[in-house]
Structure 1
Amino acid sequence: MAGSSFGEMLRITTFGESHGEAVGVIIDGATPGVELSESDIQTQMDRRKPGQSSVTSPRKEYDVVHILSGVFEGKTTGTPIFVILHNTDMRPEAYDDIQYSFRPGHADFTYWQKYGIRDHRGSGRASGRETAGRVAAGAVARKLLANRGVSLVAYTKEIGGIRCESFVESEIERNAVRACDPEAAAEMIRKIEALALKGDSCGGIVECRIRGVVPGLGEPVFDKLDAELAKVMLSIGAIKGIEFGAGFAAAGMLGSEHNDPMDASGFLSNHSGGIVGGISTGQEIVFRVAVKPTSSISVPQRTVRITGEEQTIVTEGRHDPCICPRIVPVVEAMACLVIEDHYKRLAAMRD
C-alpha cells in the first residue's frame, strides 16, 4: 500500500494493523549523536495508549517500545531507527459479524472499493492504532527539536460543544480529556460518560502551540509550512479540518484587522498563526484541528453488506467515546516531524 511514508529529510514509514502482530515505524534521517533511549519514546507512548480513563477505550495495550536499530550506546547513529510495538490485547473475533458489512463512518466501503480486499479486524491500517507508530517517531523528532530550543503543546480546546474559556497549561495532563481549562474539563468528562452510556460519541477541537521556531521554515510554493502541517494533520483519520491563527474567523475580518503590524520589537499581533507566505515568522505557531465523533458506536445504523443487501448494524468492540484526549499526543508528534524536517531542509539550503 502506497501512502504510508512521509517526510523529505526526516522520513518515516509506519506499518502494522490494529489486530495484527505489531505496529511500528521506521525513521530515516535522524541526526546522529543525539542521546535517545526507549524511555524517551515510552513517555509519549504512555500518553497515547488506550485504557487510561473512563473516557477512553478499555483496550489494554501497554505499547512497550523496542528499538531494533539506529541507536548504539544510547545515541542515534544516523541510520534508520526501527521501533516496534507488539500488540497484546487483540480480539479480532469481535469483528466477525461485520466482516461482510460496511460500517457507517469507517473506511470499510472505500478500502473495499479501492483494493477489493480489507482487513476487517478493527479496521486494519485504517484504525487509530496506526498512529502508535507516528507517536513513536514524533518522540524522536521531539528530542531533536529540544536541542534546537523548540517546544510545543497540544490540548483539547472543545468537546461536544463545551469550550475551554481559560488556558492553564499545567492542567492539561491533570485531567482525563487533556483540556486547558479545569472547569470545562469536568463538564466534558460528564458529557462523554453520558454519551458512552447511550452507546454514542462526540468530537471536538484540539489546539497546538509551537514555540521557539526560527523564522524561515517552509518551502514555497507547494511545500509551505502551513500546507505541510495541514497535510499531516488531515492524514490522521479522525481529523476533518484545520485552521491557523485567526483561521476561519478571518473570513469575517477586515484586512486592517487581520494583518499583523510590526514595530522595531517585532510583530504586534499573530492573526497569521506564526506563518506568512508559507514561511515561519518566528512567532508562536498556532493551529486548531477539528476531530470528528468516533465512528464506532453501538447505536443501530443503516448500512449495506458487500452483496448490496441492506441491514441495520451495531458496532461492537472497545472504542473511545471521544477521540480528543488520545489524539493530542498524535497531533504533537506529527507537528514535531514536520518542524524537524523543515529545519533540516533549511540547513541543507544554507549549506
Structure 2
Amino acid sequence: MRNTFGTLFTLTTFGESHGAAVGGIVDGMPSGVTVNIDDIQHELNRRKPGQSNLTTSRCEADQVELLSGVFDGRTTGTPIGFLVRNTDQNSADYESIREVFRPSHADYTYQIKYGVRDYRGGGRASARITLSRIVAGALAKCVLRSEGISIKAYTSQVGEIKVDEDYRKFNLASAELNAVRCPDELKAQEMEQLIKRVKAEGDTVGGVITCVIKGCPIGLGEPEFGKLHAQLGHAMLSINAAKGFEYGTGFEGCIKRGSQQNDSFVPGVANNISTLTNRSGGIQGGISNGEDIYFRVAFKPVATILTTQNTVNKDGRPVSVNPKGRHDPCVLPRAVPIVEAMAAMTLLDALLALKSEQF
C-alpha cells in the first residue's frame, strides 16, 4: 500500500478513522522555517467535523501534537512527526455492516485486495485520514509564503448551483465568512439551503472546488512525465470523493477554436513577459509561466446515504443496508482546506526541485 506522497517534500501517513490516532511524518522540510502551531491548528479547524450544521456531527478537537523536527518554533531539517488523536468514535454504529459491502464504498475493493479490512467508519479509506494532509500542507504553506506564493480555494458549485467562473470577480478571502466557503454571498445562501434540504432527506450532494495560486515563479514542473498540471491532478485525484480535475479553461476550452483559446504574449512589468489572457491556467508545456494557476476539482456526493439500499454481503447474497453513523451531506465545505493542502505540498515539492536544478 503506497502511503507516501511527494519526491523531495514528502508526507507518509498512518491511522484509521476509528483507531487511536491519525498522523504522519513529513520529510524534506527545509530547516530554519518559522512554524507557529496555531497556524497549523487553524488549518485543522477548517477541516474538522462538527464545525457547522452542514457537516457531520462527529465532535473531534483535532488537536495536533508535533513529535519531532521543530525546536524553539523553527524547523530543524529533520523529519517532522505528528499525530492527532481520535476521541469521538462510535464504532458500534458499524457493526451492522461488518460483513456487508456498502454501495460505492471501498469495502469490497479493500476486502478483495487485502483480505481484511477495518470496517469502522471506513477504516483507512475514511476521509478522516486527510487531516494528515492538512498538517503537511500547513507546513508547506509556511515555506511558500516566504516565497510570495499564496493558495486560496473555495466552493464554486454545489449540485446545480454555481458561481461565476471568473475568480477575479470575487474577494476570495470572503469565502471563509460562510459555512459553505463560497465567495459569492447570495450563491452561498442557496448552496447552504440545498445542503440542508438534502441532509433532511437522508441524501447527499456533490459539487466543485476552485483553487487559485498566485505568485508562482516561472519554471515549476518537468517536461514529459513531470508536468506541473499532471502533478496537481495526481494530488487532487488522491483526495477522497474526487472525481475530476481540470485547469485553465479545461473541458470548456476544448470546444473553442485555437484563435479563441491561445494566450498572446505581451510585455510585462520589470522587463518580464506576460500573457494578455490566461486560458492556459498559468501552465504551458507542463511548466508554470508566472501567471495565476487556477484549477477545479469535482467531488461526488458522499457514498453514505441514510436511506435503505440494496447490496450484497461477503458471500454474495443480496441484502439491504441502512447505514448508521455520522456523515457529511456534502464534502465541499471541509474539502476546501484539503485542496489547498495538496496544492501546497505539490508546489513546494516542485519548488525544491527547481532550486536543486539551479545549483
Identify whether the pair has TM-score above 0.5, normalized to the shorter chain: yes
CA distance in 2, matches of 1:30, 1:201: 38
Paired-residue identity, %: 48
Q: Which residue of 1 aligns with 2:237?
A: 234
CA distance in 2, matches of 1:83, 1:221: 35
Q: Which residue of 1 aligns with 2:310?
A: 302
CA apart distance, 1:38? 1.9
* Larger displacement relative to structure 2 (225-234 or 261-270): 261-270
CA apart distance, 1:171? 2.2
Aligned-CA RMSD value: 0.8
Q: Which residue of 2 aligns with 1:20?
A: 19
Amino acid at match of 1:318: R
SS at the partner of 1:287? strand
Q: Does residue 270 in structure 1 map to residue 278 in structure 2?
A: yes
Unpaired runs of at least 5, structure 1: none
Q: Which residue of 1 aligns with 2:41?
A: 42
CA distance in 2, matches of 1:62, 1:238: 23
CA distance in 2, matches of 1:294, 1:218: 33
Amino acid at match of 1:275: I
Amino acid at match of 2:5: F
CA apart distance, 1:175? 0.6
- Give CA deviations for 1:243-284 in whole Å, capped at 9, x if unaligned: 001000122100111111111222001111101111000000
TM-score (norm 2): 0.96
- Give CA deviations for 1:63-102 in whole Å, capped at 9, x if unaligned: 1010000001111000000110000101111100000000
Amino acid at match of 2:241: A
CA apart distance, 1:116? 1.0
Q: Which residue of 2 aligns with 1:207?
A: 210
Q: Which residue of 2 aligns with 1:59?
A: 58
SS at the partner of 1:122? helix
CA distance in 2, matches of 1:99, 1:203: 27
SS at the partner of 1:320? coil
- Give CA deviations for 1:175-197 in whole Å, capped at 9, x if unaligned: 11101211001011111111111
CA distance in 2, matches of 1:78, 1:148: 18
CA apart distance, 1:30? 0.4
The ranges of structure 1 where at least 4 consecutive aligned residues each deviate by more than 3 angstroms after the TM superposition are none
Q: Which residue of 1 aligns with 2:358?
A: 350
Contact 1:297 1:316 (C-alpha < 8 Å) held by counterparts = no
Alignment of 1:121-140 (within 5 A): 121-140=120-139
- Give CA deviations for 1:159-214 in whole Å, capped at 9, x if unaligned: 01111136232320011110121100101111111111110000000000000000
CA apart distance, 1:302? 1.1
Contact 1:157 1:179 (C-alpha < 8 Å) held by counterparts = yes
CA distance in 1, matches of 2:294, 2:346: 14
CA distance in 2, matches of 1:106, 1:349: 42
CA distance in 2, matches of 1:100, 1:16: 22
CA distance in 2, matches of 1:109, 1:246: 36
- Give CA deviations for 1:39-79 in whole Å, capped at 9, x if unaligned: 12101000000001111011001110100000011110000
Contact 1:134 1:330 (C-alpha < 8 Å) held by counterparts = yes
CA distance in 1, matches of 2:305, 2:213: 34
CA distance in 2, matches of 1:101, 1:178: 35
SS at the partner of 1:220? coil
2:261 to 244, 258, 262: 258
- Give CA deviations for 1:279-301 in whole Å, capped at 9, x if unaligned: 00000000000010011111211
Alignment of 1:59-208 (within 5 A): 59-165=58-164, 167-208=170-211
SS at the partner of 2:77? coil
